[in-house]
Chains A and B, each alone.
Chain A
């Protein structure tokens, strides 16, 4: 397995990724999977600049299983980053192996989403996706930075349920 980090982050690549996670885990390139970004020429350019010296591929969800399989077989290490748990759920539905741990970083406040903590806001579709992901045996860790204490989906779920 040479995908060294699987992460949900709504900004995909930014300072926390390039300065912190890249020092914490081995990485040669980044696979970004998000239909909206893959179809947005401007955002793709900006992300490419943000990735700097790291190789970057930005893919539609439908293209991703083949790319992920290649990354797993490769001797090089990759980060797999998507902007939503719903993307991860779709990959799992397609039978993609994403490993045992899913890291969750920034999911910023947006209309319709409930704020659960520092940089984590989820809506009902995200909730269902997280439930599905965990039912597939993937451990979900809400952890913005490598030295933050990871929080479980169980604890975030309780918080969401108590706020409804």
Chain B
């Protein structure tokens, strides 16, 4: 399986760069960005990347923003190709790393999409000071 990250502007390539700093070079994650050159170019670009990847693989698409163009175009692609792609919105680094790390160990696209949602949500929290005194391990 492969992952496509898609966004308004450079978020998708930037988040891949951030991920690689932590987790090393990624061969199975592909950024597709919407640029100022407009939606036409973006739609064609996204479609050609997805068409090529889906000839061999299933693809999880991670989108930056629910309701935005990358999301809408991804959703349309999903409606046309429901067997080969899944779409998750709210892209963040936890979501991307967790899913990319699982690419080699699962062939279940729906499971991978569920992991994306769980990891993405789990990564968002308000930090509060941990006052517990539990400092020792129990073996």
The interface of chain A, by Cβ under 8 A from chain B, is 15-16, 19-20, 23, 29, 31, 44-45, 48-49, 55-58, 67, 70-71, 73-74, 76, 78, 145, 147-148
Within 8 A of A (CB), among B2-46: 22-24
Q: Which of A44, A48, A78, A147 has a CB less than 8 Å from the CB of B24?
A: A147
Mind listing 29 A-B residue pairs with CB under 8 Å? A15-B22, A15-B23, A19-B22, A19-B97, A19-B98, A19-B101, A20-B22, A20-B23, A20-B24, A29-B137, A31-B137, A45-B129, A45-B130, A48-B130, A49-B127, A49-B130, A55-B137, A55-B138, A57-B136, A57-B137, A58-B135, A67-B137, A70-B137, A74-B139, A76-B139, A145-B23, A145-B24, A147-B24, A148-B24
Which chain A residue shows the least CB distance to B24?
A145
Count of B residues near A, CB < 8 Å?
14
Which chain B residue shows the least CB distance to A145?
B24
Q: Which residues of chain A have C-beta atoms less than 8 A from B97's C-beta?
A: 15, 19
The interface of chain B, by Cβ under 8 A from chain A, is 22-24, 97-98, 101, 127, 129-130, 135-139
Which chain B residue shows the least CB distance to A75?
B139
Chain B: minimal CB distance from A142 (Å)? 15
Which chain A residue shows the least CB distance to B105?
A23
Chain A: minimal CB distance from B85 (Å)? 25
Q: Which 9 A-B residue pairs are closest in the complex by CB-CB distance?
A: A57-B137, A15-B22, A70-B139, A74-B139, A145-B24, A19-B97, A29-B137, A23-B101, A57-B136
Which chain A residue shows the least CB distance to B102?
A23
Q: Which residues of chain B have C-beta atoms less than 8 A from A29's C-beta?
A: 137
Q: Which residues of chain B have C-beta atoms less than 8 A from A23's C-beta?
A: 101
